[in-house]
């Protein structure tokens, strides 16, 4: 019963703040507003220049500029804010408790050119396999 009341308190008090143990791509954004989380993500990912891929036991990289990669910081922060929140009272309490006491990771939202990605994969995978 105490957990229920505590969960209800957390759920009510954190409406416009991300729950404390939520991460986006391993970057802690807990207890932040949407704007704060977006800025934190931009600081952490602005220098990311490539994506790593793994094919069987081979790892290789594709540069973001070659596939028009962009990170959607605001969308990612919004997904983190929604994590564990629900209109259902029971699910809202459960989400508040689990995302406060246990680490929850939300993937970062990206956009890219699928055509360019497929072209880069077609070029890169044979080279990675040969190595």
pLDDT at 86: 67
Average pLDDT over residues 108-130: 82
Strand partners, 62: 51
At a CB cut-off of 8 Å and minimum separation 6, what does 77 contact?
18, 24, 29, 32, 34, 35, 37, 38, 41
Contact 70, 112 (CB under 8 A): yes
Q: Could you tell me whether strands 27-28 and 104-106 are parallel, antiparallel, or unpaired per DSSP bridges?
A: unpaired
| pLDDT exceeds cutoff 60 at 14 | no
| pLDDT exceeds cutoff 50 at 7 | no
Contact 59, 128 (CB under 8 A): yes
pLDDT at 127: 61
DSSP letter at 64 equals G
- Other CB atoms within 10 A of residue 3 CB: 11
pLDDT at 55: 74
Average pLDDT over residues 45-68: 82
Contact 119, 112 (CB under 8 A): no
Rg (CA), the chain: 19
Q: Could you tell me whether strands 58-63 and 22-24 are parallel, antiparallel, or unpaired per DSSP bridges?
A: unpaired
pLDDT band at residue 94 using 50, 70 and 90 as cut-offs: confident
| pLDDT exceeds cutoff 80 at 49 | no
């Amino acid at each position: 019963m105490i957990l229920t009341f505590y969960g209800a308190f957390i759920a009510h008090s954190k409406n416009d703040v991300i729950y404390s143990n939520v991460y986006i791509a391993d970057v802690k954004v807990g207890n932040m507003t949407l704007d704060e989380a977006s800025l934190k993500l931009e600081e952490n990912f602005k220098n990311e220049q490539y994506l790593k891929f793994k094919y069987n036991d081979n790892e290789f990289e594709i540069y973001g500029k070659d596939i028009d990669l962009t990170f959607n910081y605001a969308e990612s922060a919004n997904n983190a804010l929604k994590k564990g929140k629900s209109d259902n009272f029971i699910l809202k309490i459960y989400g508040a408790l689990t995302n406060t006491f246990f680490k929850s990771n939300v993937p970062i939202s990206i956009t890219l050119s699928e055509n360019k990605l497929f072209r880069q994969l077609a070029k890169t995978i044979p080279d990675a396999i040969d190595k």
